[in-house]
Amino acid sequence: MQYDLSALIKAFPFLLYGAIVTIRITALSIAIGLIIGFLTGLARVWPNVIFRTIAGAYIELIRGTPLLVQIFIVYFGLPALGMNLDPFIAGMIAMGINSGAYVGEIVRGGIESIAKGQMEAARSLGLTYWQAMRYIILPQAIVRILPALGNEFIALLKDSSLVSTIAIAELTRTGQIIITRTFKSFEIWSGVALFYFVMTYAISRIVKYSEKRLRYGE
């Protein structure tokens, strides 16, 4: 048996198109995840116990259930409540909510890793809690959590293959469709893997680069 490179070359434009859909849904989910995650992380260290509890429950619930099931709940479950969502929107929302929980824990860890004296010094100068968070704590925390955030983005990009199950023609789904027509499993799946690798490697480089840019005083 031989590796049929021409099959892969023929499939290339379609896989590229699928990869673009993967990038789009992942990028949008990351954006949603970052917003939810930062709010959740801040709520987790918030002096008020009600916010802390709600954020804690959200994180436990999301981390304790599979992303695939969460995607099904949003796409197949919500229509029962009268909410019909486009597959792309449903996938994006499910992934964003899922990622928010993980980002929330990362953000909480980052904030808690900053020495207590930083908050005390900021408050003793008359800054409010929020000003201290914004100008003193978060800028330092973000530098520390970048590697962990990078891991989360990479995991999310790979997990985006799960939305192939709700008929979104992203990279994995595109591969499946091509194989049903060409039967070139090995060629196409290795091509799909290569596409994923290039994308995750790009994220990894971008995170490394930002880490270098954001480091201070060395």
Query: Which residues contact another protein by CB under 8 A?
Result: 115, 117-118, 120-128, 131, 135-136, 139-140, 143, 216-218
Closest approach, Cβ 125 to another protein, in A, equals 4
CA dist 36 and 55 (Å) reads 10
CA dist 38 and 188 (Å) reads 38
Phi, psi at residue 126, to the nearest 5°? 100, 0
Closest approach, Cβ 148 to another protein, in A, equals 18
Tokens of 7: 């099959």
Compare residues 116 and 181 and give the one whose CB is closer to another protein. 116
Closest approach, Cβ 43 to another protein, in A, equals 22
Compare residues 141 and 169 and give the one whose CB is closer to another protein. 141
CA dist 120 and 86 (Å) reads 48
Closest approach, Cβ 112 to another protein, in A, equals 17
Cβ–Cβ under 8 Å, residues 142 and 214: yes
Compare residues 8 and 122 and give the one whose CB is closer to another protein. 122
Cβ–Cβ under 8 Å, residues 30 and 61: no
